[in-house]
Amino acid sequence: MQVLLGGGLLASAVSFLYPVWRYLVPPVATDLGGDSVVAAKVGELKANSGKIFRFGSRPGLLVRTADGEYRAMSAICTHLNCTVQYRSDVREVWCACHNGFYDLNGRNIAGPPPRPLESYAVHVNGDDVVVSRRRGT
């Protein structure tokens, strides 16, 4: 009886403490994401190029214009939810699915997209290019 009780108590304690111990080990990925996210490092993007980054659970598009300015917007095409990309040859944002075009402010300028892309605010913080959702506009 004592073996049963003692062994049981010990085993259950182990089964309670094991998850706790594993919980205490910090995971490798430490970036949480959020309303603002580090989309790129300064210098990562050449002028006149773009990159897709993860913004919460959706893709975002960070563009560095030919003048070196940063622009960011949602990368989900307003037509049929494809992921858009930056076209350095025409210097516009392009959706490959149905040839929709947006300007660098996210406005739909050609092709089927019915609405502009949501544009995000960008600021450079030290070495990070930080993109955040615009509030209350």
Partner 1 sequence: MAGALKMKLTRQLLSLTVAAGCLLLPATLWSAEARPQVAKSSCVECHSAFPPPTGVSEAQWAADIHAQKGLSCASCHGGDAKDPSPEGAMSKKAGFRGKPKRTEIPALCAKCHADGAYMRQYNPSLRTDQLAQYRTSVHGKRLAQGDTKVAVCIDCHSVHGIRSAKDTRSTVNPLNVASTCSRCHSDANYMKDYKIKTDQFAGYSASVHHEAMVVRGDLSAPTCTTCHGNHGAAPPGVASVENVCSTCHVFQAQLFDTSPHKAAFAAMGAASCITCHSNHRIVHPTDKFVGTGNEAICTNCHAAGDPGFAAAGRIHDDLVKLDEALKRSAEVLDKAERSGMEVSQARLEEAQGRDSLTKARVTLHSFQPDKVEQDTQAGMKIAAKTYQAGLQALAERDYRRKGLGLTLITILVVLAGLRLYIRQTESKNQSGGS
Partner 2 sequence: MGSAPEAAPRSSTHRNPLVRWLDERFGWEDLLAPLRHKTVPVHKLSYWYFLGGITLFLFIIQVLTGILLLLYYRASANEAFESVQYIMTQVQFGWLVRSIHSWSANLMIFTAFAHMFSVLFLRAYTKPRELTWLTGMVLLFLALGFGFSGYLLPWNTLAFFATKVGTEIPGQIPVIGKPLLIFLRGGEEVTGATLTRFFGFHVALLPGITTLLIAAHILLIQRLGMSVPPSQEAAWKALPPSKREMPFFPNFFARELMAWYIALGVLGLLAALYPWELGSKADPFVPAPAGIRPEWYFVFMFQTLKLIPAKVGPIDGELLGILGFGVVGLIWVLLPFLGGDRYGRRQVFIRGLGVFALAYMLGMTVYGYLAK
- 24 binds, options partner 1, partner 2, none, Cβ within 5 to 8 A by partner type: partner 2
Distance CA 64, CA 39 (A): 12
Distance CA 48, CA 53 (A): 17
Is 62 buried (19+), middle (13-18) or exposed (0-12) by CB count in 10 A? buried
**What minimum distance in Å lies between the beta carbon of 101 and partner 2?**
28
Q: Are 54 and 37 in contact (CB under 8 A)?
A: yes
**What minimum distance in Å lies between the beta carbon of 88 and partner 2?**
32
- 136 binds, options partner 1, partner 2, none, Cβ within 5 to 8 A by partner type: partner 2
Residues 57-76 that bind partner 1 (CB under 8 A): 57-59, 69
Which span sits near partner 1 by CB under 8 A: 34-42, 43-51, 79-87, 125-133? Answer: 79-87
Q: Which residue has the tokens 């040839």?
A: 99
**What minimum distance in Å lies between the beta carbon of 123 and partner 2?**
14
Residue 3 vs 25, nearer CB to partner 2: 25
- 89 binds, options partner 2, partner 1, none, Cβ within 5 to 8 A by partner type: none
Helices (H), the chain: 2-24
Distance CA 52, CA 46 (A): 14
